Chain A
Amino acid sequence: MSSSSTLVNASSKATPSAGPSLMAQMALRDISVLFRTPWIIISRSLAFIIQLFVFAALISQLVNVPGLDFFQYYAVGSVVGTVGSIAFIIGYDIFEEAEEGVLDYLLTLPVSRRQFIIGRALGGAVRAMVYATPMFVIVAVLERFTNPLSLAVAFFDLFLLAFGITGLSITMAVSVRSANRFDVVLALTELAIARASTALYPIAYMPVYVAALAPFSPVSFAADSARAALVGSSLDLLSLAGLVAFVVIFLGLGAAFYFRKLEGGVYA
C-alpha cells in the first residue's frame, strides 16, 4: 500500500530551501496512497450512503422532537464522522510501513524529519478532505446550504478536525506495537470519539455520563461549529477554539512520538 515515486522525483532535486515543496510532496504521496487503495474508498463511501439514505432517512421517521430536523442534523454529523474516519487511516498506513520496512526506505530520502512528519500529517488531513468533499456537496445540495461563507467555515472546521485526528492517529500508530491490537484500539477510539459526540445526536438526549464527556470530543467541536455555520449562519467561537486546541495538542504529540520512534525506537 505504499508508493514513493512522487517523492523520489521531488527529493532527487531537494535543496535546503525546498522545505514546503518537500512537505507538499510528502502530502501528495499520502493522497496517492489512499487513492491507490480503492477498497477503503468503496467501503467508506458505501457506509456514508447507507447511513444517510437508509439509516438517517428511516430513523428520522421515528424521531419526533419539536424543532429538530433529525435528518438534517444527522446529515451534517455523518460528513463530520466520515472526515474523522478517513483521517484515522493515516495511522494504519504508518503502522504498515513500519511493519513492511518501507519506513526504513522513506527515512533514507533527503527530507528532514520535521518536513517528513508535518508532510505526513498534512497528507492525512488533505486526503480526508479530498475524499469527503463529494459527501459534503451531497449534503449541501440535499439541505440547500448555499451561503458561501457558511460553507467555507464548515469546510475549515472539517479540515481542522482531519488535521487533529491525523495527529491522534499517528500518535497511536507509533505507541501500539501489536498489529492486531493496533487495529482494534484504533477502531475503538474512532467509535468512542464519534459516538460520544454531538455528531449523530443532540447532547440534550444523551445519558448524563455521555453528556458530561461529549462537549470535549473533537468531533463535537467540529460538528457544532459546522452546524452553527451551515444551519444558523453563525460562528461558534468556543467550538472553533476547542478544535484548534485539539489540533495543536495532537499534532504536537503525534510529531513528538513519531520523531522519538524514528530516532531509535521500536522501528529502528
Chain B
Amino acid sequence: MNSLRLIPLVVERDVRILFSDSFLVGIMFANFAIDLFVTAATFGRLIPSGNYFLYIAPGSNFITASVAAFQSGRDVWREKYIKDLTSYLLSLPAPRPVFAFSRIVGGVVRSLIATFPGTLVISYLYGITFDPRIFAAFMIVGLFSLGIVGLSITVSSFASSIEMFVTVRSAIQLYLSFLSTLFYPATVFPSILTPLVASNPMTWAVEAFRSLPQAHGLLGPVSVLVVPSLAFALLGTVCYLWYAKL
C-alpha cells in the first residue's frame, strides 16, 4: 500500500477522536461566542474610535483555533502517558515521517472543523461570506492552526506531566493573545516588546485576516503565514519523531 494513502486514514482517526465527544466541539464554539459576543462586543463599546469590535473579532476565532490545535498536542500526550498507545501506533504500516506528518495534518483538520462556524461568523462580519476571499479566510485559519499544532506537538514531546503541558500551553496562549496585535495596534507597545509582537504568529494571522476586505487577490494576505507555519509544523514533526523513539 502506498504509504501516502495512509495519511487520510490517520487524519480520519484524529477527526473521529475529536468527535468521540462532540460536546467538546460545541463547548469550543461556546467559548468563541463568549469571546466575541461578550468580551469583544463590550470592548467595542468602550473603545468607540474606528470599529474596535471588528478589529478584535478575528482574534476570537484564532483563540478558538489555538485551543483546538493544542487539544491535538494534548491527545498525543495522553496517548503516550495515559493510554500507552505509542507502541501500537508505531506498529501501524506507515513510515514514521508519514505518520508524524499525518498527525499534524489531522490536528489542522480538527482545528478547521472546530473553527468552521467561527470563521463563517467573522467572514460574515467582514462582508466576505459570498466572496472568493472566504477561501482565503479558511486558508489563514488553517495555516495559523498548522503552526500551533506543530507547537503543541512539540510541547507534548517534552512535557513529562500534564501540569507542565497545561502550563506551557497557558504561557503560549498568553503570548499569542496579549503580546500580539490582537487587541491593540503595534504602535502602542513599548519598543522593547516590539520584536516579540512582530514575531508572534497571532499578529501575522490577525493582520492577514484584517486585510481581507481590502485584498484584491487571495495570495497576498495568506502568503505571510506560509513560511512560519511550515517551520513550526516541521518542528512539530521532528519532535514527534524524536518523542516516538522507543
| Chain A residue contacts of B35, Cβ below 8 A | 195
| Chain A residue contacts of B37, Cβ below 8 A | 207, 209-210
A63 touches B21 (CB 8 A): no
Complex CA gap A181/B24 in Å reads 7
Instruction: Please report whether the interface of chain B is mostly helix, strand, loop or mixed according to DSSP.
Output: helix
Tell me, rounded to whole Å, the shortest Cβ–Cβ distance linking A32 to chain B: 16
Number of interface residues of B (CB under 8 A): 35
Interface-located stretch among B103-111, B137-145, B182-190, B219-227: B182-190
Complex CA gap A247/B96 in Å reads 54
B31 on the A face (CB < 8 A): yes
Binary interface encoding of chain B residues 164-208 relative to chain A, with 1 for a CB under 8 A from any of its CBs, else 0: 101100110010001100011000110001000000000000000
Number of interface residues of A (CB under 8 A): 39
Tell me, rounded to whole Å, the shortest Cβ–Cβ distance linking B23 to chain A: 6
B215 on the A face (CB < 8 A): no
Closest to A210 in B: B38
Complex CA gap A202/B46 in Å reads 9
B42 touches A201 (CB 8 A): yes
| Chain B residue contacts of A178, Cβ below 8 A | 21
Interface residue ranges of A146-184 to B (CB < 8 Å): 178, 180-181, 184
Q: A39-B164, A50-B178 are contacts. A192–B34 as well, Cβ < 8 Å?
A: yes
| Chain B residue contacts of A58, Cβ below 8 A | 183-184, 188-189
Interface-located stretch among A15-23, A40-48, A119-127, A221-229: A40-48
A39 touches B163 (CB 8 A): yes
A191 touches B188 (CB 8 A): no
Interchain pairs with CB closer than 8 A, number: 96
Interface residue ranges of B91-144 to A (CB < 8 Å): none
Binary interface encoding of chain B residues 40-59 relative to chain A, with 1 for a CB under 8 A from any of its CBs, else 0: 01110111010010000000
A142 on the B face (CB < 8 A): no
Complex CA gap A1/B162 in Å reads 11
Binary interface encoding of chain B residues 8-43 relative to chain A, with 1 for a CB under 8 A from any of its CBs, else 0: 000000000000010110011011001101110111
Complex CA gap A220/B34 in Å reads 17
| Chain A residue contacts of B52, Cβ below 8 A | 62
A55 on the B face (CB < 8 A): yes
| Chain A residue contacts of B24, Cβ below 8 A | 180-181, 184
Can you name 10 extra interface pairs (CB under 8 A) apart from A43-B166, A62-B49, A63-B47? Answer: A58-B183, A58-B184, A62-B47, A62-B184, A64-B49, A184-B28, A195-B38, A196-B38, A206-B45, A210-B37
What are 24 sample pairs from A and B whose C-beta atoms fall under 8 A apart? A39-B164, A50-B178, A54-B193, A55-B178, A58-B183, A58-B184, A58-B189, A62-B49, A63-B47, A64-B47, A180-B21, A184-B23, A184-B28, A185-B27, A188-B34, A195-B34, A195-B39, A201-B42, A206-B41, A206-B45, A207-B45, A209-B37, A210-B41, A210-B42
